[in-house]
């Protein structure tokens, strides 16, 4: 009897290891795709939230939030925050025309809700000048 | 040296290997072990697949939900921004327009706001039909899947109403809504938040909409603000 005939037919250790490695690679790819899709859906989520918040805040300025020059900030309970900068609008190096007791403000609102990149909305607003003391 | 023979004698005698002469095959134990390993792997894989599928589906659902939310918000913002504004058909031309553009339409239009619904007049967006002034109502209709945020409208040209009311579902899965109105009523001096608004002479300057929406098992709470641009409410 020769040696080969004598050996029992079966898998060798190397074969099993190779098959395990291949299986592992397949599973890892699967998990990678899943986590990527999860992350991107979370990104879209936070992006929509940031956009809705930014739109609503822009509507509030000059209504229930006073339009006053300055910088204000806030934070969200679940991470991220926003900053609102109101400054007198400047046109070609000079303050924009303040006509009939009105002045123009540049309003810049940045909303940051990770993992989405920050959303910035910019607008010009007109407000009555504070009453001048005679 | 002395013990060697005796220890050897104590060792059990190895039994003769079975099947050396007979046909080679798998024993029952080997088969059972293989089957149990296979079934364990299958269960694990199935679990993983199931989880993956659920994550995938919920991601898709979420995306649809976000899209609908964003669109509903944009539509409502656009509609409310021009609420209270009259078409040339309705606005009486002449002296009123010069004295104050906001006075005439508001007198005719009216705006009734309550905590759970509001009625306002605005131009019908051209996507929904021929342009014209319509009376809109925003409210929540409850159903077995939570509820819908419904916008219904009725054409309101002059005193004559044409056609029946039409409606559209802005958002589904709405558990509750709550509306509040910012501005000053004609008898007030400073602007403040109100739970209801019934002032024939003025529109609120800002409307707050608190929404709680169900997305699968999750409850999403949102607070949205909408400007009424044609409000004559000097805030």
Q: What is the 3-state secondary structure (H, E, C) of chain B?
A: CCCHHHHHHHCCCCCCCCCCCCCCCCCHHHHHHHHHHHHHHHHHHHHHHHHHHHHHHHHHHHHHHHHHHHHHHHHHHHHHHCCCCCCCCCCCCCHHHHHCCCHHHHHHHCEEECCCEEEEEEECCHHHCCCCEEEEEEEEECCCCCCEEEEEEEEEECCEEEEEEEEEEEEECEEEEEEEEEECCCCCCCCEEECCEECCCCCCCEEEEEEEEEECCEEEEEEEEEECCCCCCCC
pLDDT of residue A71: 92
pTM of the predicted model, to two decimals? Answer: 0.72
Q: What are the distances in angstroms from CA A128 to CA A59, A66, A92? A: 17, 11, 22
| Segment A78-130, tens digit of pLDDT | 889 999 999 888 766 666 555 666 778 899 999 999 888 899 999 988 876 65
Q: Do B235 and A34 touch (CB under 8 A)?
A: no
Q: Do B59 and A38 touch (CB under 8 A)?
A: yes
The minimal CB distance from B63 to the residues A44, A57, A62 is found for A44
Asked if the model's pLDDT at residue B10 lies above 60, the reply is no
Selected residue with higher pLDDT from B65 and B130: B65
- Residue A68 at interface with chain B, using a CB cutoff of 8 Å: no
The minimal CB distance from B69 to the residues A34, A48, A62 is found for A48
Residue B187 binned pLDDT confidence (cut-offs 50, 70, 90): confident
């Amino acid at each position: 009897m020769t040696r080969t005939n004598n050996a029992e037919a079966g898998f060798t250790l190397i074969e099993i290891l190779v098959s395990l490695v291949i299986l592992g690679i397949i599973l890892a790819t699967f998990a990678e795709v899943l986590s990527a899709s999860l992350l991107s859906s979370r990104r879209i989520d936070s992006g929509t939230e940031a956009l809705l918040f930014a739109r609503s805040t822009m509507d509030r300025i000059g209504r229930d939030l006073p339009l006053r020059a300055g910088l204000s900030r806030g934070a969200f309970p679940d991470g991220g925050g926003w900053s609102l900068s109101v400054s007198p609008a400047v046109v070609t190096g000079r303050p924009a025309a303040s006509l009939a007791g009105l002045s123009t403000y540049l309003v810049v609102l940045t909303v940051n809700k990770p993992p989405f990149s920050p959303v910035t909305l910019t607008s010009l607003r007109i407000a009555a000048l504070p009453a001048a003391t005679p | 040296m002395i013990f060697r023979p005796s220890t050897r004698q104590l060792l059990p005698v190895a039994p003769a290997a079975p099947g050396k002469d007979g046909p080679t095959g798998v024993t029952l134990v080997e088969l059972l072990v293989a089957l149990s390993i296979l079934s364990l792997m299958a269960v694990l894989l199935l679990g993983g697949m199931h989880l993956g599928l659920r994550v995938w589906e919920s991601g898709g659902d979420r995306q649809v939900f976000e899209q609908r939310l964003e669109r509903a918000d944009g539509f409502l913002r656009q509609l409310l921004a021009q609420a209270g504004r009259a078409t040339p058909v309705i606005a009486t031309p002449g002296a009123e327009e010069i004295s104050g553009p906001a006075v005439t339409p508001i007198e005719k239009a009216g705006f009734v706001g309550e905590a759970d619904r509001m009625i306002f007049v605005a131009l019908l967006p051209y996507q929904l039909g021929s342009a014209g002034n319509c009376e809109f109502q925003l409210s929540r209709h409850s159903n077995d899947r939570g509820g819908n945020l419904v916008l219904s409208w009725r054409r309101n040209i002059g005193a004559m109403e044409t056609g029946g009311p039409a409606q559209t579902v802005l958002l589904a899965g709405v558990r509750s809504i709550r509306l509040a109105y910012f501005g000053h009523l004609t008898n007030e001096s400073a602007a403040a938040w109100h739970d209801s608004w019934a002032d024939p002479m003025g529109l609120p300057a800002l409307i707050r909409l608190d929404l709680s929406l169900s997305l699968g098992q999750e409850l999403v709470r949102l607070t949205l603000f909408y400007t009424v641009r044609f409000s004559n409410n000097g805030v």
